[in-house]
Structures are given as C-alpha cells and as structure tokens.
C-alpha cells in the first residue's frame, strides 16, 4: 500500500482502497516539504542530549511517519511514533512499516491524539487533521520539547478567509474578511490565534514557514519557552485596517471601524517565514515528486517574508485605479525606480507584495 521508496509516491496509485483509511496522493507537496524541513532541523541540532522523538500524530496510512524514518534515518538517531485513532488503519500501518523494514525505528499507537499528547514529549510533531487543527493545538504546543518543531495543517480556509465569519469568530476569536488578500489574512489569523494560545502557557511560537496552498494552510513553527519570549511574540499580533473605498490598508494594534474602514484580526503581522531556514532547504532530491514546484516556492517564500502583511492583486489595483492592468515586470520597474520594493507572492500568481501604499500606486501607475 505504501511505496517501498517514496519514488513511488510520485507514480501511485496506492490508495488505501477498500478500507476506511485516508490517503491523499495530492498532498505529496506538503509531505516532500516536511521531509526537507525536518532534515534541515536535524542538521541544525547540536548533538541532542537524548535520542530525538518525532510524532506523526494523525497518520492515516502512516505515509508521513514512514517517509521520515526511511528518508532521514541516516541523518541522525531518532525514533518515530505513528499515531492513528482509526483502529482499521493500524494493521495497514504495521504492514507498511514491515514492507519498508522499519520495525526498529517506528512504534505505532492507536490513541486519541489529545490523550497521547499529554503523555510524552517530542522534538517534532506533525498534525494533519480533517478541517481545523485548533482542537489539538493546546496540547501539541505543550508537548514539543523547547527548540523543537510543530507542523500543522488546517483545511478550514472558508471560515478563515471570510466565507463563514461567525465560525471564524467562534473558533479563532478573530474577524476575517473576504478580499483580494483573504488567503494571506486567513493564514495570519490562524497564526495569530495559535500565538495567543501558546502565550497562555508562557510558550512562544516562531514561524519557520507559513504558507497557503490549494485548499489548506500549513504552519511549521519553532517552539520555545519563556514568559518574556511569549510577550515579545504577542507584539507581532494586531489588526489590518482596510479602507473600503480607496483600497488603502494599514496595520494597527487595535481594530478600527467606521463607514469607510473595516478591521481584520487579531492576526499575525510578523514575518511569514525564517528566510535563512527556507533558503537552506534541500528540495531538489530526485525522488521528490513535487521538486519543481518546491524549488519555485522556495525562491518566492524568503523574499516575501518581511514585506507588509498583505498583498495586492494586479487586476484589482487596475480596476480600483480605473487603468488597464499592467504586467508584473512593468509595475515592478516603475516601483523600483521610485525607491520601492516589489516581489511576487506565493498567495496568488496575479499578486504582488510591496512597501508602496495604495496612494503611492495611484500616483505612480495612474
């Protein structure tokens, strides 16, 4: 069912057909990326005091945990725990471990993830739920060893991007908006909510990489301890105030609202990734089915990391300014010549990030 070598993850098909076990071949991008992130994390560790432990918390077929063990076992000494709540999946996971001769590296648990997260600590935890990761976050962030990594997927983009406003308020205590940068603000609301939760426990989370793709958000977070660190982290949480009529936006510590403006947040206003970490990822391994796309993303992510916490859409800007849309390069030439930065954004092929305001764009492009 699971490929002996991840090369076969590219070719498939090896769905868990005929069982209730979940497997999605389209998620190969995030699984390849996870291998690259954990590989670099291992390289950065200075001789860990004890053998590291990694957790694939919501495993399905076990493909993530098996790939970690198989592809990184020569890099360091570590154990993998694969946990899955569906008892039907357990035999399948064990078979897959055997097929890959990884019995000495992996143990299998059949627990509710929240129970498991209260019993052991890990250096790396991957949580890949159906829908929101929110119900696992409190336990997960306390279960990561200081300096360790927490990776979370969330597929509830509709509430976070403003389709279901009340759900977003209930789940994340934040107000979303449906506009040209809703995928970015949705991802930032998620990060902001997790930062506020971590702070309750005097824990700080720092984005190694936050990204949005297709129908999901993914967060790789470095977890550290300390009230002061948590306090500093919270200074990166605030609001975006957006002007309905002229498309101007700015960040503010508190929400503002009147006939002209609405506010989005609380959300994360800080960097989207650790650009040095992301630039150092080895994503060109031959067996990575998504390596072309990964290479492209790894060239875009670091550049957009420190830019303002929103982006513009070429067509939307043109429509607001009542001008013909111009090509990315043409706009970039004008902005750069006038002392501004402009970079592509992974959130949208038609999008761009810039330190120019909407008023600057009006003056320069109209």
Ligand X SMILES: C[S@@+](CC[C@H](N)C(=O)[O-])C[C@H]1O[C@@H](n2cnc3c(N)ncnc32)[C@H](O)[C@@H]1O
Residue ranges that bind ligand X, judged by CB under 6 A: 22-24, 27, 31, 58-61, 63-64, 84-86, 89, 112-113, 128-130
Q: Please give the radius of gyration of the chain, using alpha carbons only, rounded to the nearest integer.
A: 21
**Packing angle between helix 227-234 and helix 182-200, nearest 10 degrees?**
150
CB of 28 to ligand X, least distance (A): 9
Least Å from the CB of residue 195 to ligand X: 23
Our CB check for ligand X shows the closer of 80 and 314 to be 80
Q: How many CB atoms lie within 10 A of CB 175?
A: 20
User: 25: phi > 0 → left, psi -120 to 50 → alpha, else beta; which?
Assistant: alpha
User: Which lies closer to ligand X via its Cβ, residue 20 or residue 245?
Assistant: 20
Burial of 8 (0-12, 13-18, 19+ CB in 10 A): middle
The contacts of residue 20 (CB under 8 Å, 6+ apart) are 86, 88, 89
CA distances from 75 to 78, 103, 311 (A): 9, 18, 38
> Rounded CA gap, 88 and 197, in Å?
33
Question: What's the min distance (Å) between Cβ of 109 and ligand X?
Answer: 9
- Closest distance between ligand X and the C-beta of residue 51, in Å? 23
Q: Quote the tokens at residue 265.
A: 């947040």
Which C-beta is closer to ligand X: that of 59 or that of 69?
Answer: 59
Provide the CB-side half-sphere exposure for 330 (13 A, CA).
7
Query: 86 or 167, CB closer to ligand X?
Result: 86
For ligand X, the closer of residues 144 and 240 by Cβ is 144
- Least distance (Å) from ligand X to the CB of residue 111? 7
Query: How near is the Cβ of 112 to ligand X at its closest, in Å?
Result: 4
Q: Which two tokens stand for residue 263?
A: 């506010």
Nearest approach, Cβ of 61 to ligand X (angstroms)?
A: 6
Q: Give the C-alpha separation, 192 to 205, whole Å.
A: 10
- Give least dist CB 238 to ligand X, A: 32
Helices (H), 305-351: 314-321, 328-337
Looking at beta carbons, which residue is closest to ligand X?
85
Distance from C-alpha of 295 to C-alpha of 304, rounded to nearest angstrom: 15
As given in the structure block, the two tokens for residue 150 are 């927490």
Nearer to ligand X, 86 or 275 (CB): 86
Q: Interhelix angle for 28-44 vs 291-304, to 10°?
A: 60
Hey, CA dihedral for 353, 355, 359, 362, is it positive or negative? negative
Which CB atom, from 85 or from 147, has the smaller least distance to ligand X? 85
In the complex with ligand X, which residue's Cβ is closer, 64 or 70?
64
Our CB check for ligand X shows the closer of 92 and 187 to be: 92
341 token code pair: 């930065």
The distance of closest approach from Cβ of residue 92 to ligand X in the complex, given in angstroms and rounded to an integer, is 10
């Amino acid at each position: 069912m699971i490929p002996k070598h991840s090369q076969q993850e590219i070719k498939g098909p090896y769905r868990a057909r005929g069982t209730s076990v979940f497997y999605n071949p389209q998620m190969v991008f995030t699984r390849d990326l996870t291998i690259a992130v954990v590989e670099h994390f291992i390289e950065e560790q200075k001789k860990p005091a004890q053998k590291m432990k990694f957790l694939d918390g919501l495993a399905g077929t076990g493909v993530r945990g098996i790939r970690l063990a198989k592809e990184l076992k020569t890099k360091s000494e570590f154990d993998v725990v694969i946990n899955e709540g569906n008892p039907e999946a357990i035999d399948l996971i064990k078979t897959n471990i055997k097929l890959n001769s990884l019995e000495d590296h992996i143990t299998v648990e059949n627990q509710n993830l929240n129970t498991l997260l209260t019993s052991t600590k890990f250096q790396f935890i991957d949580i890949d739920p159906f829908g929101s990761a929110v119900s696992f976050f409190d336990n997960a962030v306390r279960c990561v060893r200081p300096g360790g990594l927490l990776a979370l997927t969330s597929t509830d983009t509709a509430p976070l991007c403003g389709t279901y406003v009340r759900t977003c308020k209930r789940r994340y205590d934040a107000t979303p908006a449906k506009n040209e940068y809703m995928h970015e603000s949705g991802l930032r609301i998620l990060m902001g909510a997790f930062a506020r939760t971590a702070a309750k426990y005097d824990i700080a989370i720092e984005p190694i990489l936050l990204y949005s793709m297709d129908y999901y958000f993914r967060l790789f977070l470095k977890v550290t301890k300390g009230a002061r660190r948590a306090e500093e982290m919270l200074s990166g949480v605030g609001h975006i105030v957006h002007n309905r009529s002229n498309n101007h936006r700015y960040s503010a510590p508190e929400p503002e609202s009147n006939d002209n403006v609405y506010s989005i947040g609380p959300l994360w206003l800080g960097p989207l990734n650790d650009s040095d970490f992301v630039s150092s990822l080895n994503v060109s391994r031959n067996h990575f089915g998504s390596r072309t796309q990964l290479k492209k993303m790894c060239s875009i992510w670091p550049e957009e990391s420190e830019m303002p916490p929103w982006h513009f859409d070429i067509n939307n800007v043109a429509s607001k300014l009542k001008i013909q849309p111009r090509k990315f390069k043409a706009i970039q030439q004008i902005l750069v010549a006038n002392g501004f930065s402009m970079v592509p954004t992974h959130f949208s092929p038609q999008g761009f990030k810039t330190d120019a305001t909407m008023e600057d764009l009006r003056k320069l492009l109209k």
